[in-house]
Each structure stands twice: as structure tokens, then as C-alpha cells.
């Protein structure tokens, strides 16, 4: 079975989805394209060689005109939940880009409705679909470094050269926490198998920043069992850049696991690296990484298609992603309040 999808949101990153990610996954077929911009819609339709009858200005029009099984949403974040609810009410499964929503309360509306209707609702946490974090998850499950004592995460990029008037990233709400650190929060939950319970975040606002909200954030994240994570993230760093998944040092009684992931262009896995050091004075030994049929968004899209076809529930289901979203929300509250904030899940 091929899962027929309507793709909503084709500008910027959504256009990249349409042209480079979705076509690589043979388990899906695009039957409808949606974007309110006629120029953007026509450009993507032409590039994909799809008929004019497959292009629509709204999801409402597309749902009424084409037979589809699912909706993929890569529109702006503020539209994620309204579009997801419209798709779910039409009986369609949903894959939505991160961040799922800007609050857990809003996201919960879609989660509950999907569960009531028995439909798949998955969030695209694409950083999970790389070999390095997959291997680290397995090694930690196997107790490779013994009892954990600390985790350090660093993310560094310079993104401050574009014109303010035309670069939408500068206007993204809470770009360091909501747009970037959400990836790292989700990876942290994945590799450790632990949930976050408390976050203390401090944001920096240098005068040269073009961002409307925080572009630099330092955090202390407390996980279940008292494990403390030190996080430093910056869009304004002149220090050596990290990969998009950051650089991780996971320390335990019997050694250190170090890894980095998602370097270079989306889906490239050559930059993924994992090392294991058994002693402070010993050399770090590289860990062999497996090959994967699909990485990045393609891996998540393939998992989504298989869930729609009756396979296992997605590991980044809407319900599970509420826990990553709750860490993001607590970090945002702490950055404003200046005090540690508990990670609170909605009822």
C-alpha cells in the first residue's frame, strides 16, 4: 500500500521537504499540494511535475477535491494545530513539523482528537533518525559507561548576517529554545530514556543580535533520578561551529560517550561520530555506526507511513512529543522568570 498524502506549506523549509525529502520515500505518494502563495505553489508544482488539478490554496479545498490518507504539515508553526485538527476531522492521519505547537495545552487538543478518532498523529523530530544517537541510545541501554554522572551539550552556530527585513528566522518566537533546543531536548529524552523534571534557563541579548528574541541560552536541565545536564546553545557564536545536533559528552562511572550528529546538509550521515573513552587518560575509541535506509525527515516519514499502514505507533507520536514540548515550555518560562521551572505536562 502507498500512503496518499496532501502536503501543506511549501515555502522555505516546506519547499525543501517537497523537493528533496518526500520524493525519496517510496511508501508515500503526494496527491495534493497546498500553499496560500500562488507563486510558491506553482513553483513547487512545476518542479515536481504534478498536474494543475493537484494544487490548492487551502487545505479545505484539497480535502474536498482529492482522495488522500494523510496530511503532512510543514507550514508556519502557528498554523500546525489548526491544520492538524482540520485534517483529523476529515479522517486523515497527520505528520507535522516541529515544534508541534508553542504550548502543550494547544498541542494537547490535537493529541486528544487523534486518539479519539483512532488516527496517527506524529511530530517530525528528524534528529532522531541518524545513526549516532541511535547507537548512543543502544549503548546507554547496555550500561556501556555505568552509572551516569553528568551530560554536557554544546550547540554553536553563527547566523547573524542576513537582512533583518527579509530573513524570517530572526522573527521566529524564541529561536534558540523553541526552534533549535527542542531538537536537543527530544534527543536527550531519546538517548537517556529519562524525562526532564526541571529547567533553569538564562538567555543573553547582545546588542549586535538581529534576533527579536533570545539567540543565546544556557540551561541546567534536571532529569529523573537527579541526573544534571548542562546545555549551552548559541546562534551568535564565533567559536568553531558544531553539527546541528550539537556535541555531547555523556559521562559515567566507567567512561565517557561522546557524539555528534547531523553535520552538513540534511540527510548526510558522514559527519555522525560516536566515541567511547574508558578512562580520562585513555584515547577515545570510535564506535562503528550502522547504515540506515533513510535518515533525517525521510526516516520519520517512512515510519509514519508504516504506522498509517497498521505498523507500530510512531516513537515521536503527538502524545510522546508533549514531553519534549513541555521541556521547551519550561525553558521558556525560566528564561523569563529567572528561576528554575518545573516541567509540567497538561492534564
CATH 3.30.9.100 correct for 3-126+296-315: no
Nearest to 244 by CA among 225, 227, 226, 267: 267
- CATH class, domain 128-293+327-342, is alpha beta
What pLDDT tens digit does each residue of the chain (347 aa) get?
899 999 999 998 999 999 999 999 999 999 999 999 999 999 999 999 999 999 999 999 999 999 999 999 999 989 999 999 999 999 999 999 998 988 899 999 999 999 999 999 999 999 999 999 999 999 999 999 999 999 999 999 999 999 999 998 999 888 999 999 999 999 999 999 999 999 999 999 999 999 999 999 999 999 999 999 999 999 999 999 999 999 999 999 999 999 999 998 888 899 999 999 999 989 999 999 999 999 999 999 999 999 999 999 999 999 999 999 999 999 999 999 999 999 998 77
Residue 24 CA: distances (Å) to CA of 5, 30, 54, 296:
14, 12, 20, 11
Please spell the DSSP secondary structure of 52-67, one letter per residue: GGGEESSHHHHHHHS-
Edge-to-edge order in the sheet of strand 196-204 = 285-286, 273-277, 255-260, 247-252, 148-156, 228-234, 216-223, 196-204, 341-342
Residue in the block written with cell 529524552: 189
Dump pLDDT digits (tens) for 70-112: 999 999 989 999 999 999 999 999 999 998 988 899 999 999 9
Q: Are 259 and 273 in contact (CB under 8 A)?
A: yes
Q: Name, in order, each residue with C-beta under 8 angstroms of 62's C-beta and a sequence gap of 6 or more.
A: 6, 8, 32, 33, 34, 56, 68
Dump pLDDT digits (tens) for 25-46: 999 999 999 999 999 999 999 9
pLDDT attached to residue 190: 97
Parse the chain into domains and list their residue ranges: 3-126+296-315, 128-293+327-342
Residue in the block written with cell 548542562: 230
pLDDT attached to residue 296: 94
Q: Are 56 and 45 in contact (CB under 8 A)?
A: no
Nearest to 73 by CA among 58, 61, 54, 52: 58
pTM: 0.93
Amino acid at each position: 500500500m502507498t500512503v496518499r498524502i496532501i502536503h501543506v506549506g511549501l515555502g522555505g523549509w516546506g519547499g525543501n521537504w517537497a523537493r528533496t525529502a518526500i520524493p525519496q520515500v517510496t511508501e508515500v505518494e503526494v496527491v495534493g499540494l497546498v500553499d496560500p502563495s500562488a507563486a510558491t505553489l506553482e513553483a513547487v508544482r512545476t518542479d515536481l511535475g504534478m498536474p494543475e488539478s493537484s494544487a490548492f490554496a487551502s487545505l479545505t479545498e484539497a480535502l474536498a477535491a482529492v482522495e488522500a490518507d494523510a496530511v503532512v504539515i510543514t507550514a508556519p508553526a502557528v498554523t500546525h494545530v489548526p491544520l492538524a485538527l482540520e485534517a483529523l476531522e476529515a479522517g486523515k492521519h497527520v505528520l507535522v513539523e516541529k515544534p508541534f505547537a508553542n504550548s502543550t495545552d494547544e498541542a494537547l487538543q490535537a493529541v486528544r482528537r487523534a486518539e479519539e478518532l483512532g488516527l496517527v498523529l506524529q511530530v517530525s523530530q528528524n534528529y532522531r533518525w541518524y545513526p549516532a544517537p541511535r547507537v548512543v541510545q543502544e549503548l546507554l541501554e547496555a550500561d556501556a559507561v555505568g552509572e551516569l554522572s553528568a551530560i554536557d551539550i554544546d550547540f554553536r552556530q553563527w547566523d547573524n548576517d542576513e537582512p533583518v527585513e527579509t530573513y524570517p528566522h530572526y522573527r521566529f518566537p524564541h529561536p534558540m529554545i523553541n526552534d533549535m533546543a527542542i531538537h536537543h531536548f527530544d534527543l536527550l529524552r531519546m538517548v537517556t530514556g529519562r524525562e526532564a523534571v526541571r529547567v533553569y534557563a538564562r538567555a543573553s541579548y547582545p546588542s549586535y543580535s538581529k534576533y527579536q528574541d533570545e539567540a543565546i541560552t544556557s540551561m541546567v536541565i534536571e532529569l529523573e533520578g537527579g541526573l544534571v545536564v548542562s546545555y549551552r546553545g548559541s546562534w551568535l557564536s564565533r567559536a568553531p561551529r558544531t553539527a546541528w545536533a550539537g556535541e555531547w559528552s555523556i559521562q559515567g562511572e566507567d567512561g565517557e560517550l561522546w557524539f555528534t550528529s547531523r553535520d552538513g546538509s540534511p540527510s548526510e550521515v558522514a559527519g555522525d561520530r560516536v566515541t567511547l573513552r574508558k578512562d580520562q587518560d585513555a584515547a577515545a575509541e570510535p564506535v562503528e555506526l550502522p547504515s540506515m535506509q533513510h535518515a533525517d525527515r525521510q526516516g520519520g516519514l517512512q515510519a509514519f507511513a508504516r504506522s498509517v499502514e497498521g505498523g507500530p505507533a510512531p516513537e515521536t507520536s503527538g502524545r510522546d512529543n508533549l514531553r519534549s514540548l513541555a521541556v521547551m515550555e519550561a525553558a521558556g518560562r525560566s528564561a523569563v522568570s529567572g528561576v528554575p521551572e518545573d516541567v509540567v505536562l497538561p492534564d
